[in-house]
Amino acid sequence: MPLEGRTKQDVLSEFRCAEILTAARGVFARKGFQAATMDDIAGAAGVGKGTLYLYYRSKRDIYLASLEHGLRALSALTAAEVAAAARIEDKIRAFVLTKVRYFDEQRDFYRIYHAEFGNVVAHPSCLPDELMALYLQQVQQLEQAIQQAVDRGEIRPVQAGTVAFAIFEITRGIITQRLLDRTGSRAEDDGAFIVDLIWKGIGNR
Amino acid sequence: MPLEGRTKQDVLSEFRCAEILTAARGVFARKGFQAATMDDIAGAAGVGKGTLYLYYRSKRDIYLASLEHGLRALSALTAAEVAAAARIEDKIRAFVLTKVRYFDEQRDFYRIYHAEFGNVVAHPSCLPDELMALYLQQVQQLEQAIQQAVDRGEIRPVQAGTVAFAIFEITRGIITQRLLDRTGSRAEDDGAFIVDLIWKGIGNR
DNA sequence: TATAGTATACTGACTGCTCGGTCAGGTTAC
DNA sequence: GTAACCTGACCGAGCAGTCAGTATACTATA
């Protein structure tokens, strides 16, 4: 049956794609985009170098695919958690904790994510607009929530953008510290610290 | 007179070194370490490629030299300003404002600094211990000052390390935003925002 | 002051190597 | 038998670093 045969191939193909992507993520995390070679990735994936080009057009393609994969998952997760929280304080807590927890699980991805977006300023690295938008969306959602809270008088009249940015940055700092740290504090504690700090800074009382 | 001749050469040599370093800083800032080529640097400095190797041993050498140059200046300036402030609130303000102002002036350096140290986690880039220590020293000094303030009861009993790190990170965030931003807010205002936020979070009242 | 001699500074064509991407040919599954 | 899948030797571009040769500055001597 042609349809069934087609599907079988598709499944196999998707499996290979994912296999390569996982291997690539590890290599990119360890070495960075430049230093990672296609031979490295092929070796890690357990396939020949030529095979990579059956599934992806270029090294950059694989890199972007692994970046996008993680970013979409993170973005969707964060958006859902934030939306589910009612009060602004809980939204902030959800934002911070979701991110801290996600990166706790996805350390390879964090290294790629951080290397790429930590450097947006440094050398604006011609990312597809779509990815860049996905990245910026994270702060924007938070900003909107904060602005809303200001409008409703739930918190002091702060610059929503700046506060959102500050939360975003401290969160990254905490995650970075967790990756470096061997003591292994709990994600909840680190998250609580930020929320506490920010809340004292912007809360109404 | 041999001594006079020697000195003359030294001066000339130092001048060339500085000339190359300035050119290299611009190129590294624009393209990043990997993408910058020795031909680029030679072109920017207005000398032949071979000349670069009369003053520096390798591309990496030039890169490290430009990094160290800026980092030493920043570190010395910050340490002096923080030491000059008496109360912890003023120390924090000095820390933040000195950095914001410094990077406002040294945007090329910021791009190199940020690309390198923003990624310490990403791929621990075999920097000389000396440079790494100089970088970490910045947070440590602040941490000590905060710990002291806690011990004296000037502020709430917070985790000095975590707070220092948070201040460090938000400061970087603000600087990043300033570089991206076209509206040109005043360094003082951006600095005041952070200090205000942090102070509400850790202050005694 | 002119000239020859020498040391120092500089240059850019060249070399060797790395690595992204290709493709002719092999392998596997049915 | 054949179609889909896979491979890795190979190609060519790009670039760090070299070095034989040139230019410049300085010194010694007449």
Question: What pLDDT is attached to residue A3?
Answer: 38
Kindly list the residues from chain A whose CB atom is less than 8 angstroms away from the CB atom of residue B26. Answer: none
- Residue pair A101/A129 in contact (Cβ under 8 Å)? The answer is no
Per CATH, the homologous superfamily of domain B66-202 is: Tetracycline Repressor, domain 2 (1.10.357.10)
DSSP-based three-state secondary structure for A118: coil
User: According to the model, what pLDDT value does residue A9 have?
Assistant: 65
Asked if B165 contacts A173 with a C-beta cutoff of 8 angstroms, the reply is: yes
Cβ proximity of A49 and A132 under 8 Å: no
Q: What is the mean pLDDT of residues B185-199?
A: 83
Give how far A203 is from chain B: nearest CA, Å. Answer: 10
pLDDT in tens, B29-83: 999 999 999 999 999 999 999 999 999 999 999 999 999 999 999 999 999 999 9
What are the pLDDT digits (tens) for B81-105?
Answer: 999 999 999 999 999 999 999 999 9
- Give the pLDDT of residue B131: 93
Q: How many CB atoms lie within 10 A of CB B68?
A: 15
Residue A4's pLDDT is what? 41
Nearest CA in chain B to A30: B123
B67 vs B163, which has greater pLDDT? B67
CATH for A60-202, among 2.40.160.20, 3.40.50.170, 1.10.3720.10, 1.10.357.10? 1.10.357.10
Cβ of A164: how many Cβ atoms within 10 Å? 23
Q: Phi and psi (nearest 5°) for A35?
A: -75, -20
Q: How far apart are the CA of B138 and the nearest CA of chain A, in angstroms?
A: 15
Q: How far apart are CA A48 and CA A45, in angstroms?
A: 9
Q: Within an 8 Å CB–CB cutoff, is residue A127 touching chain B?
A: no
Query: How far is the C-alpha of B138 from the C-alpha of B199, rounded, in Å?
Result: 19
Please judge whether B170 and A169 are an interchain contact, meaning their C-beta atoms are less than 8 angstroms apart.
yes
Q: Count how many Cα atoms sit within 13 Å of the Cα of residue B51 in the half-sphere of its side chain.
A: 15
The answer to whether strand D lies under 7 Å from the CB of residue B69 is no
Enumerate the CATH 1.10.357.10 domain ranges in chain B, comma separated.
66-202
Residues of A numbered 17-36 whose beta carbons fall under 8 angstroms of chain B's beta carbons: which are they?
29-32, 34-35
**The pLDDT of residue B182:** 60
- Long-range CB contacts (within 8 A, 24+) of A70-74: A70/A25, A70/A106, A70/A109, A70/A112, A70/A113, A71/A113, A71/A131, A71/A134, A71/A135, A72/A134, A73/A102, A74/A99, A74/A102, A74/A106, A74/A113, A74/A138
Which bases of chain D come closer than 7 Å to a protein CB?
4-9, 14-20, 26-27
Question: Do B188 and A193 meet the contact criterion of CB atoms below 8 Å apart?
Answer: no
User: Which residue of chain A has the CA closest to B200?
Assistant: A201
Looking at chain A, the domain(s) classified CATH 1.10.10.60 span 1-56
- Across the interface, do A114 and B123 touch by the CB < 8 Å criterion? no
Summarize pLDDT for B116-149 with one digit per residue, the tens. Answer: 887 666 565 678 999 999 998 999 999 999 999 9
Tens of pLDDT along chain A (205 residues) come to: 333 435 566 677 778 899 999 999 999 999 999 999 999 999 999 999 999 999 999 999 999 999 999 999 999 999 999 999 999 999 999 999 999 999 999 999 999 998 888 766 656 567 899 999 999 899 999 999 999 999 999 998 888 988 888 899 888 888 887 887 766 778 888 888 888 888 887 776 5
User: What pLDDT score does B5 carry?
Assistant: 36
Query: Nearest nucleotide (C1') to the CA of residue B52?
Result: C10
| Start-to-end C-alpha separation, chain A | 69
Q: Do A118 and B123 touch (CB under 8 A)?
A: no
| Assigned fold of A1-56 | Arc Repressor Mutant, subunit A (1.10.10)
pLDDT tens for residues A115-174?
888 766 656 567 899 999 999 899 999 999 999 999 999 998 888 988 888 899 888 888
Paired strand residues for A203:
A155
